[in-house]
C-alpha cells in the first residue's frame, strides 16, 4: 500500500455516533411532519425503519446510508399533501439544528492527524449545507479541506464520485487516501475510486458486514493514529 497522505471521512456513523445523533432527531422530526398525529408519526417511522419510542433506527433502515432525496421519497407516500422538494427542504432545515454526538473527541484527534501531515476531507450522503453547519457548530469545519455532500455535484456513495472529487481537490492519487466509513456504501465508494478503506463500528453495520470491503475494521476512528503508525 502506498504512503497514506489523505484521510476521507464519512460523517454520520464515523465522525458522529449515528444512533445517538440521529435517532432522537428523527423521532422528533416524524412527529413534527405528522403535525402531532402519533399514528401518522408511527407510519412515517415504519417507512424509514425507525423505532420511534426508543429513538433508534433499525439496522435495515433505508436511510442510514441514503441521501436526503431517498429519505424524502421513502416518506412521501404518507405525506401526500407535500411535494418532494418541500419535504427535502424540511428535512435539511431541521438537520441544521441537530446536536451531533461525536464518536470520539474529534478536535484533538483531527489536530493530531493534521499535525502529522494528513490532509482531511468529508464525503457524506447528507446535504452539503447540513454537513457544513453541523461541523461548523462543533468548531471543526476548518479541520477539513473540503466537505462534499450528495448534492455537491459528484453523485452519492456508493458511487466513486465524491472520493475522486476529494482526490482531485487535494492533488493526491486515490491510492494515497484512505476512505473511512461505517457502511458498505462508504467502503464500496472508496474501493471503486481506487482507495484503501477502513470500516468503523460507530454506525449500525456489523464487523461481519464491513470486513469483506475493508483493509481493517476499527472500533472507532480514535484507533486511526495507531493504525497509521502515528500514535
Assign 110 a pLDDT band (cuts: 50, 70, 90): very high
Last residue of some domain: 42, 65, 95? Answer: 95
Last residue of some domain: 75, 95, 115? Answer: 95
Q: What is the pLDDT of residues 190-202, one digit of tens each?
A: 999 999 999 999 9
Assign 63 a pLDDT band (cuts: 50, 70, 90): confident
Rounded Cα–Cα distance for residues 173 and 132 (Å): 25
DSSP at 125: S
Using CA atoms, how far residue 12 sits from 23, 145, 182, 184, 200, in Å, is: 12, 18, 8, 13, 11
Looking at the fold, whether 113 and 38 belong to one and the same domain comes out as no
Tell me what pLDDT residue 1 has. Answer: 61
Q: Does 185 have pLDDT greater than 80?
A: yes
Is residue 1 one of the residues assigned to a domain?
no
7 within 8 A of 119, measured Cβ to Cβ? yes
The mean per-residue pLDDT over the stretch 55-59 comes to 94
Q: What total of structural domains would you count in the chain? A: 2
Tell me which H or E stretch contains 112: helix 106-115
Question: Which structural domain range is residue 138 located in?
Answer: 6-17+102-228
Assign 47 a pLDDT band (cuts: 50, 70, 90): very high
The mean per-residue pLDDT over the stretch 134-143 comes to 95
Is residue 40 one of the residues assigned to a domain?
yes
Q: Does 13 have pLDDT greater than 70?
A: yes
Question: Any idea what the CATH number is for the domain that residue 198 is in?
Answer: 3.40.50.1000
Is residue 89 one of the residues assigned to a domain?
yes
Distance of CA 74 to the CA centre of its chain: 18
Assign 97 a pLDDT band (cuts: 50, 70, 90): confident
Rounded Cα–Cα distance for residues 93 and 108 (Å): 29
Q: Does 231 have pLDDT greater than 90?
A: no
Looking at the fold, whether 107 and 213 belong to one and the same domain comes out as yes
Report helix, strand or coil for 118.
Answer: coil
Q: Does 65 have pLDDT greater than 90?
A: no
* Residue of higher predicted confidence among 162 and 98: 162
Amino acid at each position: 500500500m502506498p504512503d497514506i497522505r489523505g484521510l476521507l471521512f464519512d460523517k454520520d456513523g464515523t465522525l458522529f455516533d449515528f444512533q445517538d445523533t440521529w435517532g432522537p432527531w428523527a423521532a422528533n422530526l416524524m412527529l413534527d411532519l405528522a403535525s402531532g398525529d402519533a399514528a401518522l408519526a408511527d407510519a412515517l417511522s415504519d417507512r424509514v425503519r425507525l423505532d420511534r419510542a426508543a429513538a433508534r433506527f433499525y439496522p435495515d433502515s433505508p436511510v442510514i446510508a441514503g441521501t436526503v432525496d431517498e429519505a424524502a421519497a421513502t416518506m412521501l407516500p404518507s405525506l401526500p399533501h407535500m411535494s418532494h422538494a418541500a419535504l427535502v427542504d424540511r428535512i435539511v432545515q431541521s438537520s441544521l439544528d441537530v446536536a451531533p454526538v461525536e464518536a470520539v473527541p474529534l478536535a484533538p484527534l483531527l489536530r493530531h492527524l493534521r499535525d502529522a501531515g494528513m490532509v482531511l476531507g468529508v464525503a457524506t450522503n447528507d446535504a452539503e449545507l447540513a454537513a457544513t453547519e453541523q461541523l461548523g457548530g462543533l468548531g471543526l469545519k476548518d479541520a477539513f479541506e473540503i466537505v462534499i455532500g450528495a448534492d455537491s455535484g459528484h453523485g452519492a456513495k456508493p458511487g466513486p464520485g465524491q472520493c475522486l472529487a476529494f482526490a482531485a481537490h487535494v492533488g493526491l492519487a486515490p491510492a494515497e487516501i484512505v476512505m473511512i466509513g461505517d457502511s458498505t456504501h462508504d467502503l464500496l465508494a472508496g474501493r471503486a475510486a481506487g482507495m484503501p478503506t477502513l470500516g468503523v463500528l460507530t454506525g449500525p453495520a456489523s464487523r461481519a458486514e464491513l470486513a469483506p470491503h475493508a483493509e481493517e475494521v476499527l472500533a472507532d476512528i480514535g484507533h486511526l493514529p495507531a493504525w497509521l503508525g502515528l500514535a
